Amino acid sequence: MVSFVYSGTVYGINSYIICVETDASNGLPAFDMVGMLNSEVREAKERVKVSLKNNGFSIPPERITVNLSPANIRKGGTKFDLPIAISLLIALGEIRQSSTDGILFLGELGLDGDLRFVDGVLPVVIEARNQGFKKVILPKVNALEGAAIEGIEVYGMENILEVIRFLTLDEEERKLNYEPEAIDIEELFKSGQYDYNVDFSEVSGQRELKRACLIAAAGFHHILMIGTPGCGKTMVAKRIPTILPPLSYDESIEVSKIYSIAGFIKEFDSLIVKRPYNSPHHTITDNALSGGGNIPKPGVISLSHRGVLFLDEAVHFDRRALEILRQPLEDRKIVISRSSGTFEYPSDFMLVAAINPCPCGYYPDRNKCRCTETQIKNYIGKLSGPILDRIDICVQTEPLEYDNLKSGKVKEEDSASMRKKIMAARDIQNERFKGTGIRFNSEMTVKEIEKFCVIDAKDEVFLERAFKAMNLSARAYHKILRVARTIADLEGSKDIQKRHLSEALNYRMNSLYL
């Protein structure tokens, strides 16, 4: 008898429905599995046989063949244990085939039959809903992750006996005895989005740096901070997520899919509701940054999608790792080619980088700095021109005075107040880009810049002089207009004025370092 049970897998960022076919027939006793399987899937037959034996099911000495279809998609992970076990029980006549109609199964089996945590549940549940499945059965510890998806019933089970009991009931009895998992999405977002233990009010002084961060957060612009050691660059970077607009439900699903595939959604977790913040050490490899492996999992770049990627001491990162940032900074995605295929991951993040102005860290204070001009240029030159050209805002921090450090002497603006200003600017951008798919000013193409960044003739002359004097590229010109548009939005100004252009020009890379 041939049985059919449905499961799912993730390949790259995409998820696929997998049909688990099992045939039990007369012949020499064997248990074969086919369908382009990784080692952990091939090992499933041992876990399935022992867990069924330990739960009172005997497997007769027959020739058993399990096929995971389609065969041209590589299957990995341990999520196929449960569907293989259910498919085998149907083939052996223990469960009716019709009892699994419209149900997708996921889960790893312990030798005692317990269902254990698996990765990549969220994208598979989304695909199951899109393919018309009505129910998903998965481990209890994964239930909240799957329950975040509307339009499909998710049942969390403790062990295989509970799954079998569910399948032996008719639809009415299932409704009486089992309730699908449910979470309060609204409450989840309300309670978790700004659950931070840091705040901008803790940052003393640094008015210019805070202003630059306000603009960067309002338009989702990339920012580079240059300053002496200990002036607060890292402290400020850690607080940028506290002023960013909240994640929408759709953005949360995007981010959570990536984290689920990477294995960073843990037991009993649900959606990622806070904007990601990642700060890799400068020894990180290019593969860890972009995504590594024959079938690459998302790297740090993709794990920062819709959030912040902070590179502290950016000049000390490997040159190859930094150059990987070129494509995602421009295209908001990263494409990785391997022998097994080409994989595309979303990588729409806000880059925040921090560097010292010279090897010793104290330039241009010549009372402390003894670095030569050549040493300074070579030090900054570790960041290539194309990378610097992709950064919208460059701000130089100032060493803090003693008076700035006196607690309570000056009341600093807190994150909530800054976020209120940013949300007002964000509302303007929402209205401006309605129906275009664009969310922030930083995403404007040349076409949108020509439409929404109009300046008068007098200011055009001013910008032309600056363009020639600063030897700017076409990319830099468009970035200046995007930043100026954000500054105008923060003021509530419909038009871009000369003062907005001047401030935006002031955020280009300082000539001291070029």
Weakly modelled stretches of the chain, pLDDT under 70? 401-410, 510-514
**How many Cα neighbours within 13 Å face the side chain of 472?**
25
| Predicted local confidence at residue 512, as pLDDT | 45
Distance CA 328, CA 290 (A): 10
Instruction: List all residues 6 or more positions away from 348 whose beta carbon is below 8 Å from its beta carbon.
Output: 305, 306, 332, 333
∠40-109-168 over CA atoms, to 5°?
135
pLDDT attached to residue 231: 85
Tokens of residue 231, six digits: 């002036």
- Joined together, the tokens standing for residue 376 give 């300074």
Q: Quick one: pLDDT at residue 403?
A: 64
Instruction: For the chain, give percent helix, strand, coil, nearest 5.
Output: 45, 15, 40
Residue 279's φ and ψ, nearest 5 degrees, are: -135, 80
CATH class of 2-183: alpha beta
Local structure of 156: helix, strand or coil: strand
pLDDT of 447 reads: 93
Q: Which residues lie below 8 Å from residue 387, measured CB to CB, with a gap of 6+?
A: 322, 323, 325, 326, 329
Q: Cα dihedral sign for 261, 265, 270, 272? A: negative
Contact between 95 and 165 (Cβ < 8 Å): no
Reading the block at residue 452, the tokens are 């929404």
Cross-strand bridge partners of residue 344: 335
Give tens-digit pLDDT for 463-478.
999 999 888 888 889 9
Q: How many CB atoms lie within 10 A of CB 510?
A: 15
| Cβ-count burial 385-399 (b if 16+ within 10 Å, e if not) | eebbbbbbbbbbbee
Q: What are phi and psi of 410, to 5 degrees?
A: -120, 125
Q: Where in the chain is the domain with CATH 3.40.50.300?
A: 191-432
Range list for CATH 3.30.230.10 in the chain? 2-183
- Among 84, 105, 78, which residue's Cα sits nearest to residue 167? 105
> Taking the CA of residue 295 as centre, how many other CA atoms within 13 Å lie in the half-sphere pointing to its CB?
14
pTM exceeds 0.75, yes or no: yes
Mode of pairing for the β-strands spanning 115-116 and 103-105:
unpaired
Topology of 191-432 in CATH? Rossmann fold (3.40.50)
Spatial CB neighbours of 447, under 8 Å, sequence gap ≥ 6: none
